[in-house]
Every structure is written in C-alpha cells, then in structure tokens.
Amino acid sequence: MKRFLTVLMLLGILLGFTYGIACAAGEAAPAATLDSSVKAMAALAAGLGLGIAAAGAGIGQGKGLAAALEGIARNPGASGKVLTPMLIGLAMIESLVIYSLVISFLLIGKL
Amino acid sequence: MEHEPFTWVSLVPFLRDLPGHVSNGIFVSLIIVVIALLGYLQLKKTESDIIPASKLTFRNFAELIVEALSGLINTNMGSRGKEFTLLVGTLAIFILFNNLSGLVPGFLPATDNVNTTFACSLTVFFMTHYYGVREHGIKYLKQFVGPLLWLAPIMIPIELISHLARPLSLGLRLFGNIFGDHQVTAMAIFFLPFVLPVPAMILGLFVSLVQTFVFMLLSMAYFSGAISHEEH
C-alpha cells in the first residue's frame, strides 16, 4: 500500500513538472481590450471599492483594538493572553479587505 | 514593470523554464529539506540529549522550532494533537519559509501565486473530510443535516456553501496578503528608493508571521470541528 502511494505521488509530481514546462513554453493568450467607458467604470470601481472596504475594516479593527487595550490596562499580567486572540481577530477582519484588494488588482489588470 | 523580475533561480539552467513560483517553491523546499536532513543527523548524537548546549547551536535551533510548533498544536487540539502535528507543522514551515523568502531581494515567494495557496488550502479541505470520515464513518454526513430532520432541505445548501467557502477564504487570504505586500514594497521602491521600503518590509515581516499563524489556527479549528464528538 505504501509503495503504491509513493509511486502515485511521484507520478503526480512528474505530471506537474511536465504541465509546468508546457505552460511556460506556450506563451500567454493575447489580451482583449475593453471599451473605454467600461474601463472608466472599472477604474472607479477599483478605487472606490477598496476605499469602502478599508473604511469598514478601520471601524471594526478600531473597536476590537479598543476592547483589547482596555483589557490589558485593567490587567497588565494577562497581556499575552489578550494579545493572541486580538491578533487573530485583526487578521480575520483584515482578510475581508484583502479580498477587495484582490478584486481591485484584477480590475486594474484589465485596464 | 513589464519585464520579468530577476530571481536567483533564473541562473539555474533547468529550473529557468518552469513558471516563476514553481521554481522558487522548489528552491525553498530544497532549503527546508536540507535543514530537516541536518536536524535528523543530529538525532543520532544521543549523549547530549539530557543536557542541552549553552549556545545557540543548530540542534537547539531545530528543537526550538519543533517545540514551538508542537506546543501550539497541542494547546489548540488538546489530546489528539500528535496525529496532526505532521500535516499542520509541515504546512506552517512551508508557508513561513516561503513568505519570509519574499523579503530577501531576488526571491519570489511561491505563495505570491494563487496556485500555491490554493494547493495548501485544498489539502486542508480534503484532509478535513478524510479525518472526519475516518473518525465517524458515514455518520459524518449527519453534520450537514443540522439539528432537526425536517430542516434538512434548508440546512444542506447552507452547510455546503459554508464548507466550500473555507478553502476559498484560506487560499485567498494568504495569497492576498503576500501578493499585496509584495506590490506595496515594489511601489515603495519606485516612489522613494531607500527610505520608504523599510516600513513596508517591517510590515511584510509581521504579516508573514501572522498569516502563517492564522492559517495554522484555522486548519486546526477545521480539524477539531471534523473530529469532535457530540457530548450530550
């Protein structure tokens, strides 16, 4: 069973290599250009969308951070235990902004 | 910024033909394998097991990493932690080394590309269901039904969508953070060459560590959710 799985894994890696080399050899497809009014809306969406996402994240992270800092101020010895969930919460809220950032990059790529 | 960025891997003749993130990923994996092999060779020296060396030797460094990782996993997963240490620890070290390699000039982090991050998150997704089925048998599917049986037609689509959103969010979060960070550092170099990239790189260091930590925590939360037994 173990040998079968090892052979299967090596076969998968070999296939991955071949596909990678084939992909890099055949270059990218020609880019399609959009209409200029569509481009204007795409540029507007890229900027505004990220701005609104950042505003919401600023408010959310500010409230979370305020609660964490108040907890540390009341009990300085527990600062390690308060810091870890605070970092996790900040990363979760920030990930929503990151999704919007990825969409903005995609839109800017199409400009 | 239209030309191909320079990487050290483009000097190696065979790896040059592969896509950028694959060759850099291979390079970082080779570094990890060399470190792991050296650490394994150290395991044979058993006379220094009891009394650790006083300076920061290679053995102490490797033990530090392994203890930190397994301490984190045992804290979060309780008694079943030992089975998951291999998968979660490997993912964590791979993602950490890849993220940190983006700060060194000349390297392209493999997590800069959606393919790598979705590979990691799809691995976690499939292993969640594998562990769940191995633990519970076919009754694992009862999780999708919800508390009451007649609610099933509403609960099943909701649970399916939330389960499918997990690998998507895991992969996109890691990709967005590392890729966005790389772009910000590139723009900072463009605007104000030697001063502005420094805060961007400090942020990059912080973000690399935090994103690895968050990926590990979420994976462990999904594993715990899959293997948890209902206590009535």
Query: Does a structural domain hold residue A14?
Result: no
B169 Cα to chain A: minimum distance (Å): 8
For chain B, how far is it from start to end, CA to CA, in angstroms? 60
Q: Is residue A23 part of a domain?
A: no
A17 located within any domain: no
Q: Is B105 on the interface with A (CB under 8 A)?
A: no
Complex confidence, ipTM: 0.73
**Residue B59 has what pLDDT?**
76
CA-based nearest residue in chain B for residue A89? B214
Domain count, chain A: 1
DSSP secondary-structure letter at B146?
-
Residues of A within 8 A of B181 (CB-CB) are none
Name chain A contacts of B180, Cβ cutoff 8 Å. Answer: 98, 101-102, 105
Residue A96 lies in a domain: yes
| Cβ-contact A65, A59 below 8 angstroms | no
Is residue A47 included in any domain, yes or no? yes
Q: What is the pLDDT of residue A21?
A: 67
What's the pLDDT tens digit per position in A44-56? 999 999 999 999 9
Intervals of chain A under pLDDT 50: none
pLDDT of residue B186: 82
Range of the domain at A81: 33-109
Structural domain contains residue A22: no
What distance, in Å, lies between the first and last C-alpha atoms of chain A? 52
B212: Cα separation from own chain's centroid: 5
**Cβ neighbours of residue A23 under 8 Å, at least 6 residues apart?**
B19
B143-169: buried (b, 16+ CB within 10 Å) or exposed (e) per residue? beeeeeeeeeeebeeeeeeeeeebbeb
DSSP output for A12-62: HHHHHHHHHHHHHHS-PPPPPPPPHHHHHHHHHHHHHHHHHHHHHHHHHHH
Q: What is the pTM of this model?
A: 0.81
Coil, strand or helix at B172: helix
**Nearest CA to CA, how far is A85 from chain B (Å)?**
10
pLDDT at position B52, please? 67
Q: What is the CATH number of the domain that holds A93?
A: 1.20.20.10
**Regions in chain B scoring below 70 on pLDDT:** 1-5, 17, 45-53, 146, 229-232
In 3D space, the residue among B80, B95, B122 whose CA is nearest the CA of residue B215 turns out to be: B95
In a domain, A104, yes or no: yes
A87–B179 CB contact, under 8 Å:
no
